Amino acid sequence: MRFNYSVIFVFIFSFYMLNAQEDPRVTLFPWMISNYNPGAMGEKDQNLNFTGLLRQHSFLMKAENNINTSNLGENNTTDNSKPTYDKIDGQQIFLNIDSYFKQIKGAVGITFLKDKNGYNDNIGFKFGYSARLPIRGGKLGIGIQFCFLNQKPSTDKYRPNQMDDPIITNAKQSESFLDFDLSFGLHYKAPTWYAGISGTQLIGGVRVSGAENFMRPARQLYVTGGYIWNLKTSVPWSIEPGVLLRSNFKTWTMDVMALARYNGILWFGLSYQLEYSVALLFGAVPFYNNTNVYLKGLEIGISYSFVTAKYVYKPSGSFGDFEVLIRYGFNFYKDKPLTGYGSSRHLYKNQY
């Protein structure tokens, strides 16, 4: 027990200085927990799960160093009172596959990521393992992920404060940068609640190829939790609040979500990200009551975020973020039929 506490203590306090590239965020975070917490892999025991998510958004980046002829004064100097903005389109694509395996008493998962954000166009790959331990009516997942991130920045669009910045100069000589990293997480799920803590980019990125000091990944800490409140009504409704805290140890964000779910089939709700956006959520499990086991596991969801941050309401700015989620899972472990002879009171012993 003392060893376990020591591991958790070292894990939490092993984060220190960071810089640059951060993990992409999503509004529908309860469906993407295993992307930032490897302990959540295989949380649906005995199921093979596929999860895909597309996020589309844009934002404005101030371009103070741009010389725009429409902003020149009488002496051909830049009018700083009328700054120009670059509209940057962003897109994230996630594909996650994970499954629980009885033979190894745990889950294995892989994740593919395409992250086009700002002046970067990155491709990531993760694979990992999560041990699933039964504890007091729930399951504790202890997971680790090995992560590879290929960064492709548009270095010609960076505007350094110092001309001929050696880091930018060296980066321009490389077309891309490949980093290796680790993620670790603890995730506990009970029948009516869940909680987890995890860290990504734990070693700050081991540069496999490319300029050594350019765009290092930033360490991230995540704390998440949720609850399922089943209402005692004639119509089967449940209320499912959830929260996600995220920090890079210089700044932090918080997502709060509340869903209403009807009969396990339809769900809708609201989400709020502190100082950034308010989102509407809607989804369905269309074949929830279908007898076909290969259709029951299909789930779809969408979200639209109304961005409240002031900088996005400039001319040509973005007025919202859009996400589409598709999740599919099925149980590939079939129950063994009862076999045997004699009294029916003893048939149970043959089913395992």
What six digits make up the tokens of 236?
Answer: 């089967």
- For residues 83 and 125, give the distance between their C-alpha atoms in angstroms, rounded to a whole number: 38
Instruction: Tell me what pLDDT residue 136 has.
Output: 87
Which residues of 201-297 form beta strands (DSSP E)?
206-209, 220-227, 229-230, 237-247, 252-262, 266-273, 277-284
Rounded-to-integer distance, Cα 113 and Cα 127, Å: 12
- What is the domain-level CATH number for residue 314? 2.40.160.60
Between 87 and 43, whose confidence is greater?
A: 43
Structural domain of residue 159, as residue ranges? 37-67+83-335
225 lies in some domain: yes
The band of 5, judged by pLDDT with boundaries at 50, 70 and 90, is very low
Q: Is the pLDDT of residue 170 over 60?
A: no
User: Has residue 73 been placed in a domain?
Assistant: no
How does strand 229-230 pair with strand 120-135? unpaired
Answer yes or no: is 352 within a domain.
no
Choose among 87, 105, 107, 89: nearest CA to 97: 107
pLDDT for res 33: 94
Of 13-27, 191-205, 246-260, where does mean pLDDT reach its minimum? 13-27
β-bridge partners, 278 = 272, 306
Residue 309 has pLDDT above 80, yes or no: no
- Among the ranges 10-14, 99-103, 337-341, which has the highest mean pLDDT value? 99-103
Q: Is residue 25 part of a domain?
A: no
Element (H, E) at 33: helix 33-36
* Sign of the torsion formed by the C-alpha atoms of 72, 59, 317 and 307: negative
| pLDDT tens-digit map of 87-105 | 677 889 999 999 998 888 8
- Asked, for residue 10, whether it belongs to a domain, the answer is no
Q: What is the pLDDT of residue 151?
A: 85
pLDDT digits (tens, 9 = 90+) for 184-220: 999 999 999 999 999 999 988 788 887 777 777 789 9
Secondary structure (DSSP) of 292-317: -TTTTTEEEEEEEEEE--GGGGSTT-
pTM over 0.85: no
Can you tell me the distance from the alpha carbon of 27 to that of 302, in angstroms, rounded to the nearest whole number? 10
Token representation of residue 117: 């954000």
Proportion of the chain above pLDDT 90, given as a percent: 43
**343: in domain:** no
- Please give the helix or strand (H or E) that residue 4 lies within, else none: helix 2-12
Q: Is the residue at 329 inside a domain?
A: yes
Number of separate domains in the chain: 1
Residue 17 lies in a domain: no
Highest mean pLDDT among 111-120, 138-147, 148-157, 158-167: 138-147
Q: Per DSSP, what are the bridge partners of residue 80? A: none
Low-confidence winner among 1-15, 79-93, 236-250 (lowest mean pLDDT): 1-15
